[in-house]
């Protein structure tokens, strides 16, 4: 077993954004061609340990899955002499798309003021005949047909290389599988690893959709106390050490920890490397599987006000991809010497939510179970999404260009974070509303001191939260209610929070929304307007 301190060496050197690629052989470029992450790893992992075996953690549903016999039979098409009459895959002649044209932005223009007025000079094409013509290894004839649950071999190669570059898992038998986004991936992981009546551990405040995904499956969340760095290791350990089934509807001790370690939704907290190491050690001690939901990983920022200019706070410039990598806090996957992390990545927050495309990385055993599930449920991610993003990040940008795009996003989101904090400082009554500037993601969490409300002694916390929220809506600003994100349904919460985002509107409208929210707070709390001193 490796040590946590020695598994981060690749963070001290620049990333290799031009790995020596393994070819995608012709037999794997066709319809529903099977493949494996193992084929596309660019370096040897023989010196690293195998992951732990997780059979005892498999749910009854997962253990009984055998996958799709139809998809399994597609492996025989790797023999070019085999003619298939066994699958329901239509000829591309009967698919009414002949060409797709994509026009990505110029990375060079993004760095200049020309970006607002300039258009892309690059056009990416895909037709039904690109593979036959030798112009591409991926085309519409394949992308628009059925595929394996883990996605196309062409895209799997890029995903594998990306995972090596940015996470370099410290055990040998890790694998990847494409997904239709993190929410679907989370749903499948719950079905794989939990039974009705189980509990999952999470931050005290966590992603509301994750809670709403679990509840109909008969799975309850148990919230763990947080601070400005997210989940508290001591509180996590205490919950597990003192687990009482009778206090949790006779639920057995949890074996799954749900974590959003970077730019946490909704609180915006980001766990430091020290915090992640502490939590990982507790996961080892109690044998937890960590579901690392990390769509905001590349939206990490410097602390607010860490450097400044005459115009206000600014972020130190990142000059190279190596510098960018060094600024990233290592993921749980990069610390995972046991294979106990299932990492969920997504293009939703960095390219397109509507593409519904992401991927999971975990031990080969867990990915096998995951594939068995996808093959008979979601099947592969949408072919058009795979092809479009493949054209962009593989054929057009490559890993170096994609990293430049991520660096651009980091810069833009930092400016937006700084802008909303500045607006909060100007328009919100700081005696009532408090906040910690987020250091990643797209959310700013606001705490309202409800005890200062004139009706605090006669109305409940929930009633006051709703009253303030409705007042804000009537003023013309919609924010998220903190109660939507409470992990533990049966625990009394004595706090009022609201979630805001700096990603969803132009800066001028963000400022106006914060101003309106401030007006709603002042009206609800009957804050007298400040009097101007006479000169």
Domain definitions of the chain by residue range: 411-524
Which pLDDT score is estimated for 319?
Answer: 81
Q: Does position 195 have pLDDT exceeding 90, yes or no?
A: yes
Are 178 and 156 in contact, with CB atoms under 8 Å apart?
yes
- Separation of alpha carbons 301 and 288, rounded Å: 29
Which pLDDT score is estimated for 470?
Answer: 97
How many other CB atoms are there within 10 angstroms of residue 90's CB atom?
Answer: 12
The conformation of residue 378, written as its DSSP 8-state character, comes to: T
- Separation of alpha carbons 100 and 385, rounded Å: 11
Q: Compute CA 363 distance to the chain's CA centroid, rounded to the nearest angstrom.
A: 19
Cα-only R_g, the chain? 25
How does residue 312 score in pLDDT terms, banded at 50, 70 and 90?
very low
Better pLDDT: 470 or 61? 470
Are 253 and 305 in contact, with CB atoms under 8 Å apart?
no
Q: Does position 148 have pLDDT exceeding 70, yes or no?
A: yes
Which pLDDT score is estimated for 440?
Answer: 97
Lowest mean pLDDT among 26-30, 249-253, 261-265, 400-404: 26-30
How many helices (H) and strands (E) the chain has is answered by 17, 17
Q: Does position 1 have pLDDT exceeding 50, yes or no?
A: no
| Closest C-alpha among 80, 74, 130 to residue 390 | 130
What's the pLDDT tens digit per position in 61-78? 888 887 767 667 666 667
Q: Does position 342 have pLDDT exceeding 70, yes or no?
A: yes
Which pLDDT score is estimated for 13?
Answer: 61
CATH 3.90.1150.10 fits 411-524, yes or no: yes
What's the pLDDT tens digit per position in 399-412? 999 999 999 999 99
Burial of 413 (0-12, 13-18, 19+ CB in 10 A): buried
Contacts with 487 (C-beta within 8 Å, 6 or more apart), sequence order: 202, 203, 204, 205, 206, 211, 221, 222, 223, 224
- Separation of alpha carbons 484 and 374, rounded Å: 29
The conformation of residue 299, written as its DSSP 8-state character, comes to: -
Better pLDDT: 10 or 135? 135
What integer is the mean pLDDT of 151-155?
Answer: 95
When the pLDDT of each residue in the chain is averaged and rounded to a whole number, the result is 90
Which pLDDT score is estimated for 84?
Answer: 62
Cα of first residue to Cα of last residue in the chain, in angstroms, is: 73
Q: Which long-range contacts (CB under 8 A, 24 or more apart) does 105-110 make?
A: 107/397, 107/401, 107/404, 107/405, 107/408, 110/405, 110/408
3-state secondary structure 29-64: CCCCCCCCHHHHCCCCCCCCCCCCCCHHHCCHHHHH
What integer is the mean pLDDT of 113-126?
Answer: 70
User: If you write DSSP's letter for every residue of 54-114 in order, what string do you get?
Assistant: -GGG--HHHHH----HHHHGGGGGGSTTPPP-SS----GGGSS--EEEE-PPPHHHHTSGG
Strands (E), 274-319: 289-293, 307-309, 312-314
In sequence order, the β-bridge partners of residue 256 are 289
How many other CB atoms are there within 10 angstroms of residue 323's CB atom?
Answer: 13
The conformation of residue 462, written as its DSSP 8-state character, comes to: H
Which pLDDT score is estimated for 345?
Answer: 98
How does residue 313 score in pLDDT terms, banded at 50, 70 and 90?
very low
Which pLDDT score is estimated for 310?
Answer: 47
The two tokens of residue 137 are 């290894």
What's the pLDDT tens digit per position in 483-510? 999 999 889 899 999 999 999 999 999 9
What's the pLDDT tens digit per position in 373-382? 898 888 889 9
What's the pLDDT tens digit per position in 203-240? 999 999 999 999 999 999 999 999 999 999 999 999 99
What integer is the mean pLDDT of 15-22?
Answer: 92
Which pLDDT score is estimated for 110?
Answer: 75
Q: Which long-range contacts (CB under 8 A, 24 or more apart) does 405-409 make?
A: 405/107, 405/110, 405/350, 406/298, 406/324, 406/350, 407/318, 407/321, 407/324, 408/107, 408/110, 408/111, 409/298, 409/299, 409/350
Q: Does position 275 have pLDDT exceeding 90, yes or no?
A: yes
- Separation of alpha carbons 215 and 207, rounded Å: 13
Structure-derived torsion over alpha carbons of residues 311, 314, 317, 322, reported in degrees to the nearest 10: -170
Q: Does position 115 have pLDDT exceeding 70, yes or no?
A: no
Are 288 and 201 in contact, with CB atoms under 8 Å apart?
yes
Which pLDDT score is estimated for 63?
Answer: 81
- CA separation (Å) from 482 to 204, 434, 462, 471, 499? 11, 14, 10, 15, 6
What integer is the mean pLDDT of 324-352?
Answer: 97
């Amino acid at each position: 077993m490796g040590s946590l301190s020695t598994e981060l060496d690749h963070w001290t050197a620049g990333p290799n954004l031009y790995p020596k690629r393994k070819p995608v052989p012709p037999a794997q470029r066709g319809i529903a061609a099977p493949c494996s992450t193992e084929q596309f790893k660019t370096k040897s992992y023989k010196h690293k340990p195998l992951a732990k075996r997780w059979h005892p953690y498999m749910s009854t549903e997962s253990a009984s899955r055998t996958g799709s016999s139809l998809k399994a039979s597609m492996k025989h098409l790797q023999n070019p002499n085999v003619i298939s009459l066994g699958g329901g895959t239509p000829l591309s002649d009967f698919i009414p798309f002949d060409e797709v044209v994509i026009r990505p932005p110029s990375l060079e223009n993004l760095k200049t003021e020309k970006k607002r007025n300039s258009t892309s000079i690059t056009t990416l094409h895909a037709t039904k005949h690109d593979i036959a013509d030798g112009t591409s290894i991926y085309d519409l004839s394949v992308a628009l047909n059925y595929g394996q649950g883990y996605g196309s071999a062409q895209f799997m190669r890029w995903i594998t290389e990306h995972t090596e570059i940015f996470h370099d898992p410290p055990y040998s038998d890790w694998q990847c599988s494409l997904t239709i986004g993190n929410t679907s991936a989370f749903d499948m992981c719950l079905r794989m690893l939990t039974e009705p009546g189980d509990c999952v551990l999470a931050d005290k405040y966590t992603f509301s959709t994750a809670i709403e995904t679990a509840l109909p499956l008969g799975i309850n969340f148990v919230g763990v106390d947080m601070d400005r760095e997210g989940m508290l290791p001591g509180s996590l350990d205490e919950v597990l050490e003192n687990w009482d089934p009778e206090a949790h509807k006779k639920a057995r001790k949890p074996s799954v920890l749900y974590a959003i370690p970077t730019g946490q939704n909704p609180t915006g907290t980001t766990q430091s490397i020290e915090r992640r190491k502490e939590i990982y050690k507790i996961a080892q001690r109690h044998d937890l599987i960590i579901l690392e939901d990390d769509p905001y990983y590349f939206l990490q920022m410097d602390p607010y006000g860490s450097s400044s200019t005459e115009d206000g706070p600014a972020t130190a410039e990142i000059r190279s991809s190596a510098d960018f990598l060094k600024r990233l806090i290592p993921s749980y996957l990069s610390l995972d010497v046991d294979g106990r992390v299932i990492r969920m990545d997504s293009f939703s927050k960095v390219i397109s939510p509507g593409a519904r495309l992401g991927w999971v990385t975990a031990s080969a055993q867990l990915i096998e179970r995951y594939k068995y599930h996808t093959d008979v449920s979601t099947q592969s991610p949408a072919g058009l999404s795979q092809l479009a993003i493949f054209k962009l990040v593989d054929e057009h940008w490559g890993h170096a260009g994609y990293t430049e795009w991520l660096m651009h996003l980091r810069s833009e989101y930092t400016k937006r974070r700084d802008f909303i904090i500045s607006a909060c400082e100007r328009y919100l009554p700081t005696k009532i509303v408090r906040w910690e500037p987020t250091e990643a993601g797209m959310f700013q969490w606001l705490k309202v001191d409800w005890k200062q409300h004139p009706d605090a002694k006669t109305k409940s916390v929930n009633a006051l939260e709703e009253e303030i929220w409705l007042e804000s809506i009537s003023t013309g600003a919609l924010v998220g209610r903190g109660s939507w994100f409470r992990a533990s349904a049966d625990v009394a919460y004595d706090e009022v929070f609201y979630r805001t985002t700096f990603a969803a509107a132009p800066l001028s409208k963000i400022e106006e929304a914060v101003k309106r929210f401030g007006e709603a707070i002042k009206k609800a709390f009957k804050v007298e307007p400040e009097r101007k001193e006479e000169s």
